[in-house]
Amino acid sequence: MDITDIFKIPLFRNFTQKMQEDFLENLEYTIENHSKGKTIIHQDSPCQAIHVLLEGKLNVDVVDVSGIEVRVEVIQAPRTFATPHVFSEKNLFPATFSVEEDVVLMKIAKESFFKMMHSMPLLLHNFLCVSTSCNKCTMTRLRVLSFRGIRSRYIYYLLDHLKEGQDTVDMEHNQVQLAEYFGVTRPALSKEIGKLVDSGFISISRGKVKILNKQALISLL
């Protein structure tokens, strides 16, 4: 583990060498190690620190209003998670986090981070950018679920994850996780994906989906 890996993360990006040294010297933090299979954070538990995943992978699961647990993401180091919730009114974790691959976790004291933001305008700027990005992810999920049909949800998900100038989407979720994300069964989702492939709208290979006819997909929304 290299603690300086945190400076590859958007929250700490663009720090000069001097800023990096000052930041680590004055920051209050702890390092934790957790093994595969362990649940390290429960949904709706208090969020009192900035959490930085230095090594490993975490599963992110949300229990919806009907009591169904949905896998929304698998996050991989290095990255922060649940960052905006530290300073929110209720400051509760929005999901349950469990270890997919052994992790090394850095926990930055809330008060220490707050002081650092006051003395480092770049850190404050990065925090606001990360918070905006997290809000966008939430809005994307709500937008996906606003479509009634499975096919429309899948198409919107693809188009939202398609980077400008490209025709291929690197899928963050497998079909089981996508089905949970969409709130549908895997067989139903697989059937709709198969129809899109058979119709020549998309092709799938090794976790990548190639958009063959973008305008046709848009017309199906």
Q: Which domain holds residue 129?
A: 3-140
CATH code for position 210: 1.10.10.10
What pLDDT was estimated at residue 23?
A: 94
| pLDDT tens profile 141-172 | 657 766 778 999 899 889 988 988 899 999 97
Instruction: Please give the helix or strand (H or E) that residue 63 lies within, else none.
Output: strand 49-63
- Residues 192-213 have a mean pLDDT of 94
Contacts 24+ apart (CB under 8 A), 115-122: 116/23, 116/26, 116/27, 120/19, 120/23, 122/14, 122/15, 122/19
140, 170, 192 — which closes off a domain?
Answer: 140
Contacts of 165 (CB under 8 A, 6+ apart): none
pTM attached to this predicted model = 0.67
Domain count, the chain: 2
- pLDDT confidence bin for 107, thresholds 50/70/90: very high
- Residue 26 shares a structural domain with residue 127: yes
- Residue 135 shares a structural domain with residue 151: no
CB 62 within 8 A of CB 47: no
What pLDDT was estimated at residue 39?
A: 96
What pLDDT was estimated at residue 98?
A: 96
96, 112, 140 — which closes off a domain?
Answer: 140
98, 121, 140 — which closes off a domain?
Answer: 140
- pLDDT confidence bin for 62, thresholds 50/70/90: confident
- Residue 136 shares a structural domain with residue 189: no
- pLDDT confidence bin for 211, thresholds 50/70/90: very high
Res 16 pLDDT > 70: yes
- pLDDT confidence bin for 125, thresholds 50/70/90: very high
Res 193 pLDDT > 80: yes
- Residue 13 shares a structural domain with residue 79: yes
Between 211 and 1, the higher pLDDT residue = 211
- Residue 36 shares a structural domain with residue 125: yes
